[in-house]
A and B are shown apart, each in its own frame.
Chain A
C-alpha cells in the first residue's frame, strides 16, 4: 500500500521531510505515553480492594521539564513549517505564468499563448510555473497532491500558487473546497511533459492567439486605448512598464501594480487613484468576464518597459537541471498571498 502520493515537485520533497519528522515525533510520544500508561496500569494494579496508596507530591521540576521540552520542540516545528510555507508561496521571477479560473464544476486553465484547457493542465518539466487564479462563483480550492500544493480560489480576488515539477507523468488535480453538488467531480489531471514535448503540445493545442493578443484586442474594443495612450500620456496613466512596478497613489500610499491591482482598477477604478490623475475612469463591472480580465492582465503584463524580457510567453525550452534553485524575487512580483494591509480588504 502506498503511503505517499507521487513526489513530483521540488516543494513536495521539503513537505515530505517535515511530514516524516512529525510522524516520527508522533510515534515517539504516542509510544511513550502508551507504554507508560500500560506499564503503570499493570505494575500498580489494584491488588486489594482496600488498598490506599500514599499521595505522590507533584514535582515542579518535572512539570517545568515537560513544559519546556515540548515548547522547544513545537517552536522548532513552527519554524520549519513556516520556512516550507514561505518557499511554497514565493515563486521565482522566471516562472511560466498560467491562469486558472474555477467555476462550478470545472477548472479552466489558460496558457499565455492562448491555449485553453478544461480540467487539464499541461506543464513542462523542471521549470517553475506560477498560477494566478480566481473563481467565477463560489470558493473552490486548486489542489495537486503530487506537488503538495493547494490554494483556495476566491471570487472577487486573485490567489496565486507556484511549483516546479520534477517528474514526468499525469497527476491528480482535485477541488478541495466544498462547492456544491459536483464537488467530487471537479477533478482533472496535471500532465508534466519533457520540455520538447511540451513545446509540441503548445503548438498543436489550437490556440486562437495568445492571451496578450486577445487582451490587446479587448483593450481596443472596450475603449481603454483611447485614454491610456502610450504615445501621448494625457488624462490616464500609461500602461507601458506599469505591471510589477510601484505606483504612488493620490492618498500618498504606494502599491505594487500586480494582477489584483489591475483587476481592481478595471472593476472599481475609484478605489485607488494614481497620484496626479483625476478619478474619471468608468467602472467595467459587469462588462468583462473573468476570462477577459485575465486576457487584459496578460496584455498589460506584456507591455514591459523597453529592455526587459517579456514574462509569460513560452520561451525556448531551457536545459533545466532536475531540481533548479529558483531565484528569489527581489521585487515582490505581486503574489497576492503576500498582501499589504491596504489590499486585504478587497471586494
Chain B
C-alpha cells in the first residue's frame, strides 16, 4: 500500500495509541513488521507441507497424476476465482480505511467475509463429495488398482494441505469479524487504520497459499 499514507503527519489519537509506543507512526511500523514476521513463520509452516508434497510427487509422479484427475477441477477453479475476488474486496477495504470511509470499509469487509464463506462452503462440498466417493484416507479410502498407496498419499496431502489452509481461512474470517465490529464502532480513521492493513496482509497471504495449492493438487498432468 502507498507509503504516502504512512508518512502523513499522524496526530496522536490517544485512545488508539498503545502505552508502549511513543507515537502512532512507531505503532504502525511495529504492527506492520510484526505481521510480516508472522507471515514469514506461516511460509515456513506451509513450507513443511509443501516439502512433503514435493518429495512424494517426485517419487510417485504417475500416481499423483492419476489421483489428481479425481479432484473437482471445476470446484477448485471456482474457488480460486472466489478467493481472488475476496482479495480484491479486501484491498478495497484497506483503501476505504486509509481514506477514512466507514461505510465502504464495512461493506468491503463484509463482502470479503462472504466470499471467504463461499470458498469454505464449496470446500465443504468437495470434502463431502470425496467422502461419498470413498477417497478419504484413514476413514474410507478405497482404490482399485496397483498404485493404491501412492494415490492415497496424494489424497492425504490434499486433505492435510487444504484443511490447514481452510483453518487459516476460518481464522481470517474471525479476524475480519473483529474488524467489522471495530469499524461499526468508529474505531478506524485516516490516522488509525493499521489493523485493517495488517489483517489485509494476512488475508492476501492465505489467498496466495491457495494459488500454489490449486495447481499442485488439482492440475497435475492436466492438458488443455
A and B touch in the complex (CB under 8 A): yes
Between A269, A283, A345, A346, the greatest number of chain B beta carbons within 10 A of the residue's beta carbon is seen for: A345
Question: Does B147 lie within 8 Å of A270, measured CB to CB?
Answer: yes
> Is chain B's binding surface mostly helix, strand, loop or mixed?
helix
Contact for A347 among B58, B62, B149, CB less than 8 A: B149
- Would A345 and B55 count as touching, CB distance under 8 A? yes
Number of interface residues of A (CB under 8 A): 8
On chain A, the residues within 8 Å of B59 by CB distance are 345-347
Minimum Cβ distance to chain B for residue A270 (Å): 5
Tell me how many residues of B have a C-beta within 8 Å of chain A. Answer: 9
The docked-state distance in angstroms from the alpha carbon of A347 to that of B62 is 15
Q: Are A345 and B58 in contact (CB under 8 A)?
A: yes
User: Mask for B48-68, Cβ within 8 A of A = 1, else 0?
Assistant: 000000011011101000000
Q: Which of B55, B56, B60, B146 contacts A283 (CB 8 A)?
A: B146
- A-chain residues with CB within 8 Å of residue B56 when the two chains form the complex: 345
Query: Any chain B CB within 8 A of the CB of A31?
Result: no
**Interface membership of chain A positions 272-299, coded 1 if the CB is closer than 8 angstroms to chain B and 0 otherwise:** 0000000000110000000000000000
Contacts of A282 in B (CB 8 A): 146
Instruction: Return the chain A residue nearest B58 by Cβ.
Output: A345
Instruction: Say how far A342's CB is from chain B's closest CB, in angstroms.
Output: 8
B60 proximity list for chain A (CB < 8 A): 271
Contact partners of A283 in chain B: CB under 8 A: 146
State the Cβ distance, B154 to closest chain A Cβ, in Å: 14
Bound complex: CA A345 to CA B150 (Å): 12
Given the complex, which residues of A lie within 8 Å of B62, measured CB to CB? 270
Kindly list chain A residues whose C-beta atoms are within 8 Å of the C-beta of B146: 269-270, 282-283
Closest to A269 in B: B146
Q: Please give the distance in Å from B184's CB to the nearest CB on chain A.
A: 53
Residues of B within 8 A of A269 (CB): 146
Q: Which residue of B lies closest to A279 (CB)?
A: B146
Q: Cα distance A162–B149 when bound, in Å? A: 33
Q: Give the complex CA separation of A282 and B55 in angstroms.
A: 25
Q: Shortest beta-carbon distance, A287 to chain B, in Å?
A: 14
Query: 1/0 contact trace for A331-347 toward B, CB 8 Å?
Result: 00000000000000111
- Quick one: which of A288-347 are within 8 Å of B by CB? 345-347
Most buried by A among B55, B58, B59, B149: B59
User: What sequence of 0s and 1s flags, for each residue 115-155 of chain B, a beta carbon within 8 Å of any chain A beta carbon?
Assistant: 00000000000000000000000000000001101000000
Name which residue of chain B comes closest to A283, CB basis: B146
In the bound complex, residues from chain B placing their C-beta under 8 Å from that of A345 are 55-56, 58-59
Residue interface mask A71-82, B partner, CB < 8 A = 1:
000000000000
Interfacial residues of chain A within 134-177, with CB under 8 A of chain B in the complex: none
Query: Roughly how many angstroms separate A271 CA and B64 CA in the complex, as a whole number?
Result: 12
Closest A-chain residue to B149, C-beta based?
A: A347
Closest residue to B63 on the A side, CB-wise? Answer: A270
How long is the Cα–Cα vector from A283 to B56 in the complex, in angstroms? 20
Question: Complex: how many Å from CA A235 to CA B62?
Answer: 22
Residues of A within 8 A of B147 (CB): 270
What does the 1/0 interface line of A234-254 toward B look like (CB < 8 Å)? 000000000000000000000
CA distance A88 to B31 in the complex (A): 54
**Closest B residue to A251 using CB positions:** B61
Closest 7 interchain pairs by CB?
A345-B59, A270-B146, A345-B58, A345-B55, A283-B146, A270-B147, A270-B62
Residues on B facing A (Cβ under 8 Å): 55-56, 58-60, 62, 146-147, 149
What would 4 more interface pairs be, CB under 8 Å, given A270-B62, A345-B55, A347-B59? A270-B146, A345-B59, A346-B59, A347-B149
**Contact surface of A with B, Cβ cutoff 8 Å:** 269-271, 282-283, 345-347
> What are 14 A-B contacts with C-beta separation under 8 Å?
A269-B146, A270-B62, A270-B146, A270-B147, A271-B60, A282-B146, A283-B146, A345-B55, A345-B56, A345-B58, A345-B59, A346-B59, A347-B59, A347-B149
